[in-house]
Amino acid sequence: MSESYTPLRSVLYAPGVNRRALEKARTLPIDCLILDLEDAVSPDEKRAARETVVEVLSAGGYGYRKRVLRINGLETEWGAEDIVAVAKAAVDAVLIPKVESPETVLEAIAALDAAGAAPDLPIWIMAETPTGILNINAIAAAHPHLEVIVMGTSDLAKEMRVRHTRGREGLMTALGLCLLAARAHGLTILDGVYLDLQDGDGFRAACEQGRNMGFDGKTLIHPQQITPANQLFGISAAELKQAETIVSAWQNALQAGKGVCVVEGRLIENLHVDEARRVIAMQGAINDRA
C-alpha cells in the first residue's frame, strides 16, 4: 500500500438540503462525507439541495474529510443540473447511483467533462440493483477514474425481496461478487448502511462482519455510528504490533539471506509482509488525522 493511502472507515451520508448537518460534519471525526442529492432529498427540494451543497462546499472547512457528492441518475430530470453543480463544487469525488452497466460510468464522465469538471475527478459508483451486481466486474473495469464501489444494501434488499437479518444471508452473494470485482480492479469498497439506530450491538456486529469479509469501511446514516465504525474498521493495537513484528522479522530474514521466516509459529512469506505494511501505512494515515 502506498504512503498516500486514505482511510475510509466512516463515510457519513448527509441530505443536501440539511444545511445544519452539512456544516456540523466539519467537526465530526469522519473520514468522508457524502452530500446527498438523491435518495435523501424529495423531488420538491432537489433544486434547493443543489444550491445549498454548492454554497456549503464553497465555504470549505472540511479539513482531511473527503467530500463526495451523490447526484441523481442522468436518466432523471435532475441529473443534468446535478452534473453542472458538481463541476462548480469543491468536491473530491462524484457518486453515481444505481449503476447497472459500464456505459453509465462512461456517460457520466463524458457529461462531467462537457460541464467543465476537473478532468481527473474520481468516480464512485453505487452497486444497488440486481442488474448492477450481475455486471459489477465489467463496471469496475469501466474507466481509470473509477475509485470506489459503494454498496447500496437497502435498495438491493428491496429489489431482491431479501429479509433484513443480522447475518445478511440474502445479500452475501451480492456482497461477495462486489468485493471480488473491487479487489480484481484495485478499487476501494464500502459496506452498506445499518438502519436500526437503536441496535448498537447489531451495528457493531455488522461492522465486524464487513471488516472480516474485506470491506474497507462503512457507510453511515447517523453520527452516533461514527466511533464504532472508526474503531472496527481501524487498526487495533494488537494488529499494529503484529504487523510491525512481521516486517521486522522479514527484514532480519532478508539480511540473513532467507526468503521466509517464522513469527509466533506462523510461516511468513512476502504476501504476509505486503499486508503488514498496508496495516502500518493505514495506521500512519489515521495518526495523521489526530
Mean pLDDT of the chain: 95
Q: Is 155 annotated as a binding residue?
A: yes
Question: Mean of the pLDDT values across residues 246-254?
Answer: 94
pLDDT at 167: 93
Domain ranges of the chain: 10-232, 237-287
How large a percentage of the chain has pLDDT more than 70? 98
Residue 1 has pLDDT above 50, yes or no: no
Question: Mean of the pLDDT values across residues 263-278?
Answer: 93
pLDDT at 57: 97
pLDDT digits (tens, 9 = 90+) for 76-104: 999 999 999 999 899 999 999 999 999 99
Signed CA dihedral, 228, 208, 217, 160: sign only: negative
pLDDT range class, residue 289, cuts 50, 70, 90: confident
Question: Mean of the pLDDT values across residues 2-21?
Answer: 88
**Superfamily holding 10-232:** Phosphoenolpyruvate-binding domains (3.20.20.60)
Question: Mean of the pLDDT values across residues 275-282?
Answer: 94
How large a percentage of the chain has pLDDT more than 90? 94
pLDDT at 3: 43
pLDDT range class, residue 290, cuts 50, 70, 90: low
More confident residue, 4 or 43: 43
pLDDT digits (tens, 9 = 90+) for 137-185: 999 999 999 999 999 999 999 999 999 898 999 999 999 999 999 999 9
3-state secondary structure the chain: CCCCCCCCCEEEEEECCCHHHHHHHHHCCCCEEEEECCCCCCHHHHHHHHHHHHHHHHHCCCCCCEEEEECCCCCCCCHHHHHHHHHHCCCCEEEECCCCCHHHHHHHHHHHHHHCCCCCCCEEEEECCHHHHHCHHHHHCCCCCEEEEEECHHHHHHHHCCCCCCCCHHHHHHHHHHHHHHHHCCCEEEECCCCCCCCHHHHHHHHHHHHHHCCCEEEECCHHHHHHHHHHCCCCHHHHHHHHHHHHHHHHHHHCCCCCEEECCEEECHHHHHHHHHHHHHHHHHHCCC
pLDDT at 2: 36
